[in-house]
């Protein structure tokens, strides 16, 4: 990560901005790798494949960004997700 850049969730790619955006470990401590929407209490909230996660994320973004095309969103995610910690094999 570049100096001054914000971390991204290593599951969904969301930029983690505020302290409360970080997930939590089983002991309640902050998890630096995953966001609160993907990871709480030391476990992933969704038992999904990478493809399913991309679809879920694309649905959420499509609702917020009315001028974007779903195919463009999904194509971008397929470029990023394989580099994220959760999806590396």
Q: What is the pLDDT of residues 7-24, one digit of tens each?
A: 999 999 999 999 999 999
User: Do 62 and 76 sit in the same domain of this protein?
Assistant: yes
Domain of residue 12: give its range.
Answer: 1-46
Confidence of residue 1 (pLDDT cuts 50, 70, 90): very low
Answer yes or no: is 89 within a domain: no
* 39 and 64 together in one domain: no
Question: pTM of the predicted model, to two decimals?
Answer: 0.84
Band (85; pLDDT cuts 50, 70, 90)? very high
**Into how many domains does the chain fold?**
2
Mean of pLDDT over the chain: 89
Beta bridge partner(s), residue 35: 22
Supply the DSSP symbol for 82: G
The pLDDT value recorded for residue 64 is 64
Same domain, yes or no: 73 and 56: yes
Q: Do 22 and 58 have their domain in common?
A: no
Note whether 76 and 42 are same-domain residues: no
Question: Which segment of 30-39, 41-50, 56-65 scores lowest on mean pLDDT?
Answer: 56-65
Q: Are 45 and 37 in contact (CB under 8 A)?
A: yes
């Amino acid at each position: 990560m570049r100096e001054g850049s914000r971390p991204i969730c290593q599951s969904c790619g969301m930029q983690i901005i505020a302290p409360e955006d970080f997930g939590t470990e089983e002991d309640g401590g902050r998890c630096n790798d995953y966001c609160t929407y993907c990871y709480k209490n030391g476990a992933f909230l969704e038992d999904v494949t990478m493809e399913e996660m991309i679809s879920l994320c694309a649905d959420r973004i499509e609702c917020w960004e009315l001028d974007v095309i779903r195919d463009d969103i999904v194509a971008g995610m397929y470029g990023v997700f394989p580099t994220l910690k959760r999806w590396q094999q």
